[in-house]
Amino acid sequence: MPRATVARIDLGALKYNYQLAQAKAGAAQAMAVVKADGYGHGIKAVAHALADDAGKFAVACLEEALEIRAAGLSQPVVMLQGVHGREDVELCFQQGFEPVLHNNHQLDWLAESSAPAYWLKVNTGMNRLGFRPSELPAVMATLDGAGQRAELQGFVTHFACADDTSSSMTREQTRIFEQATKAWPSLMRSVGNSAAHFLPDQPLYDWSRPGIMLYGASPMIGKTGPDLGLKPVMTLEAPLITTRIIKPGESIGYGSTWVAQSETRMGMVAIGYGDGYPRHAGTGTPAAVLGQRIGLLGRVSMDMLAVDLTGVPEAQEGDMVELWGKTVSVDEVAACAGTIGYELLTGVTARVPRDYH
């Protein structure tokens, strides 16, 4: 009999969150970002669930774009990191992939094959990828000269601090982007990760790019997904495989880091960092059983972790514990582990089966 540990995926919640993103995008269209295996939810199932609604998908790399085609879907797929080799350009053309090109090598490769529809990345302050605004006129002149302007869809930029409502960075990047692209008003513009959808008065132009919000986790500092009106899509669950009474002075697990002050009823849960549950989540990190919130005890092991069942005497071996989902948001667990919901969702390992509803 297989271990009952599972990530339940609520595709109805996914569709709900996409509709919310589209509503917040206003006149812009929301392309569905499904990179990193659909943020750990399974790219094929996620793409199928959103296929009727999302006009484009976005991924990081070619392998992910090909998975969307392997799922039998024919929508345009934007490749946010451009292409990694010259031969990829022809493949993009054949497959209807739209790479976001960010350096001169990639532009040179355009000339060597049939050019696909493509975008140009503009660096407005993130300083990871893209052409500086001052370089754009020369880039555009080169593309014109080479007859490669027809396939250019438009300009893309990415915000560094949209998760922080107190930062002025997004406003400044927006100003720089408008200034940099205004000479080509017929081309499209794409800005806006999930966080930008929650900023008042933030223009999203033609195409916004929501990712994490589709999965019901928060893009904003200090808020959970449900705080923002999002529905959690993944519920990570594992069974209680034993319960026992720990006496005062006894400890649990590696390093004996947690020592009972009073008699404690604990349960062992069949999930650990080998499944992607964060080892940095310490004593007190929330979980839930039978609808009631409980806390972790001691260190997370590779295959199991301990929880405090003292307040839930009816919880028994075989009952399922929610590690995150509808009762405990992944954002709360992430905060306890010193990280963000993105890392937890994308980190659920292949050992955990995904169960779709």
Say whether residue 161 binds ligand PLP (CB under 6 A): no
**Shortest distance in whole angstroms from residue 139 CB to ligand PLP:** 19
Residue span binding ligand PLP (CB under 6 A) among the ranges 168-176, 205-213, 237-245, 284-292:
205-213
Rg (CA), the chain: 23
Compare residues 193 and 285 and give the one whose CB is closer to ligand PLP. 193
Total chain residues near ligand PLP (CB under 6 A): 12
Q: Which residues make up each annotated binding site for substrate?
A: 128, 302
Report the site for ligand PLP in 71-100 (rule: CB under 6 A).
80
Beta bridge partners of 9: 234, 356
Task: Pick the binder of ligand PLP from 193, 202, 264, 285 (CB under 6 A).
Answer: 193
Residue 25, H or E segment? helix 11-25
CB of 193 to ligand PLP, least distance (A): 3
Position among 24, 102, 189, 209 found at the interface with ligand PLP (CB under 6 A): 209
Q: Which residues contact 198 (CB under 8 A, 6 or more apart)?
A: 24, 165, 219, 220, 228
In 3D, which of 292, 325, 324, 331 has the Cα closest to residue 308? 292
Residues contacting 195, CB < 8 A, separation 6+: 159, 162, 163, 219, 220
Exactly one of 20, 79, 212, 234 binds ligand PLP (CB under 6 A); which one?
Answer: 212
Q: Which range binds ligand PLP by CB under 6 A, 131-139, 147-155, 207-215, 274-282?
A: 207-215
Q: Is 33 in the site for ligand PLP (CB under 6 A)?
A: yes
**Per rule CB under 6 A, is residue 124 in the interface with ligand PLP?**
no
Which residue lies nearer to ligand PLP by CB, 191 or 320? 191
Residues belonging to the active site = 35, 254
Query: Out of 219, 276, 298, 341, which residue is the one contacting ligand PLP (CB under 6 A)?
Result: 219
- Beta strands per DSSP E along the chain: 6-9, 29-30, 32-33, 57-59, 77-79, 97-101, 118-121, 152-156, 188-190, 207-208, 234-246, 251-252, 258-259, 264-269, 286-289, 292-297, 305-308, 320-324, 354-356
H helices present in 26-86, as ranges: 35-39, 43-50, 62-70
Nearer to ligand PLP, 80 or 300 (CB): 80
User: Which chain residues interact with ligand PLP by CB under 6 A?
Assistant: 33, 35, 80, 158, 193-195, 209-212, 219
